Structure 1
Amino acid sequence: MGVKKWLFSEELVDDYEIIEVERLFGFKLPDDYKKCVMKNNGGFPEPNTFDCDDDGGIESVFNDLISFTNKDLNIKMFSEFSKRGLLPFGRDPFGHLLCFDYNENIDCPRVVFYNCEETGSILVTPICRTFTDLLNRLYS
């Protein structure tokens, strides 16, 4: 299990771009995520399926990392999520978001699934404790 390779990665991300996003959102990005996105900006993990931590074991897909550099869709476009204590970093094939949730722990955000279409009260589903945990649980 875990990521075997990243497909369709875009240009490399440098420290300046990381710092710029951290300032925009007001949160420090986890080190494991920073290392990954610096090499695999906008990339698609393979394999890409994971199960959420909730009781139902919902199967989901990690489609791609949100790009730091794409002019049409990039991570800076989601800055309004910082008001909710969230920082989106990835998407599923339907446009729902994988986010870091800083609400419980500002130094070690958990990874959650944010349902963009949900109209009820459950918008966020816990996935796992860290970005590395997410990558390690990916399967085909």
Structure 2
Amino acid sequence: MRKDLEWEYADLEVSENKIKEVGLQLGFNLPQDYINCVKKNGGASVFPEEFNVGNAERCFGSLFSFDEESSEYIVKKYEIYKPTLPQKVFPIANDPAGNLICFDYKNNKENPIVVFWEHENAGEKEMLMREEGLTEDQAEERARENVFYVAATFTEFLDKLHD
């Protein structure tokens, strides 16, 4: 993992067991490189903070927290975004514009890729099915239109941060 990253405003350190437990409760086996980072840097922002999604420059906001009292508690965030996110996508951080950095487990439940989820034009899948008459599969397909590849691993994502 990069040594030159500067993490600011991190929560108190959290145990590896707690992180794994939370992930499993929500149905996700969190990757070890992410666990190693979030143990010390949960809730933190990072510098450098910019990364690319295709040709678009994006900005890292902060990692979600494992502190149950935090407004950025990862479980609360997952519950809020779950109706809109595609299946097997798990949010781990945000950007300043309300978009999310997520793990996508669609093609590999052990080694998820890192994706960027754009909230613009994202609708709740239930609403799409009810109001637009979409099937569950069609609503899922529509939800996937807002997901963009960033990196093969969390470590690779961190390696792509620049100023």
Give the shorter-chain TM-score range.
0.7 to 0.9
Q: Which residue of 2 aligns with 1:38?
A: 39
Q: Give 3-state SS (helix, strand or coil) of 2:21's partner.
A: helix
Shift of 1:119: 3.9
Moved more, 89-98 or 76-85: 76-85
Q: Which residue of 2 aligns with 1:75?
A: 74
Q: In structure 2, how many angstroms separate the alpha carbons of the residues matched to 1:119 and 1:29?
A: 25
Higher relative contact order (CA 8 A, sep 6+): 1
Greater helix proportion:
2
Q: Which residue of 1 aligns with 2:118?
A: 115
* Identical aligned residues as a percent: 34
Q: In structure 2, how many angstroms separate the alpha carbons of the residues matched to 1:83 and 1:125?
A: 12
Give ranges in structure 2 of 5+ residues lacking alignment: 124-141
Q: In structure 2, how many angstroms separate the alpha carbons of the residues matched to 1:107 and 1:99?
A: 14
- How does 1:1-140 map onto structure 2 within 5 Å? 3-52=4-53, 54=54, 57-69=55-67, 70-77=69-76, 78-79=78-79, 81=82, 84-119=87-122, 121=142, 122-140=145-163
The alignment of Structure 1 onto Structure 2 pairs a total of residues equal to 136
Structure number, greater radius of gyration: 2
Q: Deviations over 1:16-42 (max 9, x none)?
A: 321321222211101100000001111
Q: Is the 8 A contact 1:24 1:76 kept in 2?
A: no
Q: In structure 1, how many angstroms separate the alpha carbons of the residues matched to 2:42 and 2:73?
A: 10
Q: In structure 1, how many angstroms separate the alpha carbons of the residues matched to 2:96 and 2:157?
A: 17
With structure 1 as the length reference, what TM-score do the two structures score? Answer: 0.88
With structure 2 as the length reference, what TM-score do the two structures score? Answer: 0.76
Give ranges in structure 1 of 5+ residues lacking alignment: none
Shift of 1:83: 6.8
Q: In structure 1, how many angstroms separate the alpha carbons of the residues matched to 2:51 and 2:97?
A: 15
